[in-house]
Amino acid sequence: MIYFAFQNPLTINQILLVIIVLVEAVRIKNYHQLDIILKKTSEMAKNKSPNKILIVEDEITLNETLSYNFEQQGYQVKTAFDGHEALALARNFEPDIIILDIMLPGIDGLEITRILRKESGVPILLLTAQGEEIDRVVGLELGADDYMAKPFSMRELIARVKALLRRVKLDQPDNPIQPSEQLTFNNLMIDENKHEVLLNGVSLKIKPKEYDLLLYLCTNSGKVMTRSLILEKVWGWDFDGGTRTVDVHIRWLREKIESDPTNPTRIITVHGVGYRFDG
Ligand code: CA
């Protein structure tokens, strides 16, 4: 059974999942569940269609290098060299992920991020000039999912793209590990089945990472969670965007769920430590 499950190439994430499941299954001796999950993992590898990637970069050589490397990795690649072309392709090609340079002719990468975030949740990885920390912070605030500073290692960029795509897939409803709960805190309800947050019965427009963060804080209600722990649990151990990312997302969440975001009563700042969800 295990031999057949590995006949198709698995991603690192899938291999890790299998190892975790093996350890857990041996521990609880639930071999039936192990079999089901191994079959599911194998199906995920078989049914994988190529990921569509849009590369937006006006430096022709860099654009070609990126394009070549992602094609070699089995991605379906489209390239854009200016902001207008990028927006048109983002809408027509419907990529699974966008690598987006900030300094572009036409419309810059930050403005493109702002426009696209109103239209879709497509993961965006920004390419920033070295030392331009302000661009990174603004980019993340506008809704970019990750960034890399130039010059970067191609291997690291490919790893980051894969990590982002993995996170998006894990957010999708065919994730084999299905949550099945509703968490209620007074007028706030989190429906894990629908990936939905309701305030006074009204569904909130909430981004995937905000949802993950809120769910993580709620399931640890009353406990202080450090920024670095939140970063690891919500963004993953391979994310190195810095704890400022946590603060930015907390601020967005407060704007959505607090009656007075400047004087929060639900998500409490514990100075020098992190955040605590008080219900
Ligand atoms: Ca550029």
pTM over 0.85: no
pLDDT for 255: 96
**C-alpha 163 to ligand 1 mean position (Å):** 24
pLDDT for 75: 96
**C-alpha 135 to ligand 1 mean position (Å):** 13
Give the tokens for residue 79.
Answer: 């390239």
**C-alpha 98 to ligand 1 mean position (Å):** 15
**C-alpha 169 to ligand 1 mean position (Å):** 30
CATH 1.10.10.10 fits 182-277, yes or no: yes
Sign of the alpha-carbon dihedral angle for 110, 209, 254, 120: positive
**C-alpha 61 to ligand 1 mean position (Å):** 11
CATH assignment of 52-171, among 3.30.420.40, 3.40.50.11720, 3.40.50.720, 3.40.50.2300: 3.40.50.2300
**C-alpha 104 to ligand 1 mean position (Å):** 5
Question: Per-residue pLDDT tens for 150-208?
Answer: 999 999 999 999 999 988 877 665 544 444 578 889 999 998 888 899 999 999 999 99
**C-alpha 108 to ligand 1 mean position (Å):** 9
Cα gap 261→228, rounded to integer Å: 23
Cα gap 225→221, rounded to integer Å: 9
Cα gap 227→242, rounded to integer Å: 9
Q: Residue 155 in 3-state DSSP?
A: helix
Q: What percent of the chain has pLDDT over 90?
A: 52
pLDDT for 49: 75
pLDDT for 91: 94
pLDDT for 238: 72
The single-letter code of the amino acid at 40 is K
Question: Per-residue pLDDT tens for 231-270?
Answer: 888 987 777 778 889 999 999 999 999 999 999 999 999 9
pLDDT for 74: 94
Task: Dump strand ranges (E) for 116-266.
Answer: 124-128, 146-149, 182-185, 188-191, 196-199, 202-203, 224-226
**C-alpha 59 to ligand 1 mean position (Å):** 6
**C-alpha 105 to ligand 1 mean position (Å):** 8
pLDDT exceeds cutoff 90 at 68: yes
Break the chain into its structural domains and give their ranges.
12-47, 52-171, 182-277
**C-alpha 241 to ligand 1 mean position (Å):** 21
Cα gap 84→106, rounded to integer Å: 6
